[in-house]
Structure 1
Amino acid sequence: MAFTQQQLDAVEKAIARGEKIVRYADRNVEYRDIDELLRARDEIRSSLIAAAGPRSRIVRLYHGGKGL
């Protein structure tokens, strides 16, 4: 199933509020418990990451000195 960022946002808001009901546009989904909601969030995240395709490599540079 294809998920959207808005669906992920709705699930994360429900988790933050401690709710078990998530509202997506015109429908409501009630989860049995918070654990089920967390699993749904993880599945949606994984799906969105997979749909985004391969990412380019990110290089992070750190500097520990005072600079010049």
Structure 2
Amino acid sequence: MDLDRMRALLTALQEARYAGLRSVSYDGKTVTYGSDAELAAAIRDLEARIATASGAPARRRRWATVAMKGL
């Protein structure tokens, strides 16, 4: 799948999710996701594939715990 097609599919998935839909039609095919979590996972997977195809570095997440005394 080429980069432009993946970006178009990502846009379709995001629009469906933001509209509260679980079905996406693209290129004459319809895909129905069982839950919002499945749709979110498909979006994350496609974002990762786009990042890999475009040569962008993988997004890193850093978690830290911060505690301070409220003075």
Fold-level match, TM-score > 0.5?
yes
Question: What residue number does 1:19 align with?
Answer: 21
Kindly tell me: are residues 20 and 51 of structure 1, through their superposed partners in 2, closer, same or farther at Cα, counting changes over 3 Å?
Answer: same
Report how many aligned residue pairs link the two structures: 54
Output the amino acid matched with 1:13: E
Determine what percentage of the aligned residue pairs are the same residue: 24
Provide the residue aligned with 2:43 in structure 1.
Answer: 41
TM-score (norm 1): 0.73
Query: Which structure's CA Rg is the greater one?
Result: 1
What is the Cα deviation at residue 54 of structure 1?
4.2
Name the TM-score, length of structure 2 as normaliser.
Answer: 0.70
Gaps of 5+ in 2: 58-71
Give distance in 1, aligned partners of 2:35 and 2:56: 33
* Alignment RMSD (CA, Å): 1.4
**Following superposition, which runs of at least 4 residues in structure 1 exceed 3 angstroms of deviation?**
none
Paired letter, 2:16: A
Gaps of 5+ in 1: 56-68
